[in-house]
Amino acid sequence: MKIQFVAGFSPIVADPGAAAALYRDALGIPFERSQGTYTYTHELAGTKHFGLWPLSDAAQACFGTDEWPDTLPVPQATLELEVDDVASAAAELEANGHVLIHGARTEPWDQVIARLMSPDGLLIGICWTPWFHDSA
């Protein structure tokens, strides 16, 4: 697999209001978009996507429930890495002994992603993000 770029990075937060007070108000990150309780920006220089992802939303995206399972460490952040072929990259990871949280699937926002946990508890997404490739 060949990583094209870091598609996104998001701290996973227990308290979105407290997180916004730090990242938006104190640090001045220009969050211009939100989807439910997820706040994000595509306007922070040096990154394609930076967001504050509530833990309940991360659990919903990974497991279809608002609660993170007790069998996995609670992640502090998610790192999304862009690849050409998510299904192929996911198969390669599994062939090398890595356990995926879920295989390649298309999210409601049209991003194709497979997820796994790093040994240190970082939630990693291997993804294809269509809007980063639109030529218009």
Residue 104 to residue 91: CA distance in whole angstroms: 9
Radius of gyration of the chain from its Cα atoms, rounded to whole angstroms? 15
CATH number at residue 75: 3.10.180.10
The count of structural domains within the chain is 1
What predicted TM-score, i.e. pTM, was given to this entire model?
A: 0.88
pLDDT digits (tens, 9 = 90+) for 12-70: 999 988 998 899 999 999 888 777 778 899 888 888 999 999 999 999 999 999 999 99
* Two structure tokens written together for 34: 């939100």
Instruction: Tell me the residue range of the domain where 49 lies.
Output: 5-132
Residue reference for tokens 């502090």: 76
Neighbours of 103 (CB within 10 A): 16
